Amino acid sequence: MTTEDYLEGQILLIDKPLHFTSFQAVNKLKYLLINKVGLPKKFKIGHAGTLDPLASGLLLICTGKFTKRISELQGQAKEYTGTFHIGATTPSYDLETEVDQHFPTAHITEILIHETVPQFLGEIDQKPPIFSAIKKEGVRLYEHARAGESVEIASRKTTIHEFEITRIALPEVDFRVVCSKGTYIRSLAFDFGKALASGAHLTALRRTKIGDYDVLNAITPAIFEERLST
């Protein structure tokens, strides 16, 4: 692709690696496009929906005039796959923090797990994790959490279009979810554990689709760099 192609607008399908922030992925591509393709330093580039560093998968990166489409892309349904660990919780609802509580699991059967799924389908109330970037009174929630401050978090409406359990090997439960914008899969893990009269946290997460865009058609930042060099 030429400089003009990127400035006119492209949607780049990137498979974000684990431990990369979405910001780092955008910056990596920006650096490559400036230094290998010759784009001006102030060209427009941005992503359509943050992925946590502990999640991998599809990140849509828009360039040039297509940055105007970011809010439209962010509003599309997203598909995730991942793993819940049943029987323990963490303050962040994932592996960012250490386990803080253990819960009984002897009563949990495969039947109970499958029977619990339907209560999370459709429109649900969900509280974002305290370890999130949402702002309360101008301060991000994770800053309150790291300072050890107690904060009242309001629940939000979100929609789970599809939710299926794909593997059960307790304490691990694998899942696939299709959900609306603003859904926290970490909160879904926490709430699912609660609904089982136990606890749970998220140990793996991968975004596989955004609307009609599929991670199967995405490439890593490293492969993007290789292709620019050939």
Backbone angles phi, psi at 205, to 5 degrees: -150, 135
**C-alpha neighbours within 13 Å on the C-beta side of residue 194:** 11
> Active-site residue 100, yes or no?
no
- By the 8 A CB rule, do 181 and 194 touch? no
Distances (CA, A) of 83 to 5, 26, 128, 210, 214: 39, 27, 18, 19, 20
In the set 52, 125, 212, 214, the catalytic residue is 52
Distance CA 211, CA 218 (A): 14
Q: Residues with catalytic annotation?
A: 52
